[in-house]
């Protein structure tokens, strides 16, 4: 069984103070044509000006209990995709890019497959 991270309710899974803003734009869900039992949750990591940020670590959490569901890294264009089952969710994503300054951001907590 994969390792799971549990965070207390009411606390953010990643606290970043005084850092640059990181927006996750275009997060969407779409059906995969090869398998009707799997769905893709995709998005792009961008900075506050809308420029793509590649190599961000993106965590996918279950909204109901803040348990880590999956982890991936965005590509050089900031794109990322999670493959999830049809009856899962809702979810939220947290992205982090170390650097000077570090950048971090999160999505809404209502992402669901359709």
Q: What is the pLDDT of residues 3-56, one digit of tens each?
A: 334 434 443 333 333 333 445 555 554 444 444 567 788 899 998 888 999 999
Q: Is the dihedral of CA 47, 13, 89, 76 positive or negative?
A: positive
At residue 32, the pLDDT reads 45
pTM of the model: 0.68
Give me the residue label for tokens 């089952």.
Answer: 85
- What gap in Å lies between CA 30 and CA 46, rounded to an integer? 20
- 44: closest CA among 66, 72, 69? 72
105 Cβ partners below 8 Å, 6+ apart? Answer: 21, 22, 23, 24, 45, 94, 95
């Amino acid at each position: 069984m994969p390792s799971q991270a549990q965070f207390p309710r009411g606390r953010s899974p990643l606290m970043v103070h005084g850092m640059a803003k990181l927006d996750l734009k275009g997060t969407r869900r779409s059906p995969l044509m090869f398998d009707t039992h799997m769905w893709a949750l995709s998005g792009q990591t961008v900075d506050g000006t809308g420029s793509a940020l590649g190599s961000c670590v993106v965590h996918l959490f279950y909204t109901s209990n803040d348990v880590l569901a999956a982890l991936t890294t965005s590509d050089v264009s900031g794109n990322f995709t999670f493959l999830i089952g049809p009856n899962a969710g809702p979810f939220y994503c947290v992205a982090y890019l170390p650097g000077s300054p570090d950048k971090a951001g999160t999505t809404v907590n209502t992402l669901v497959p359709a």
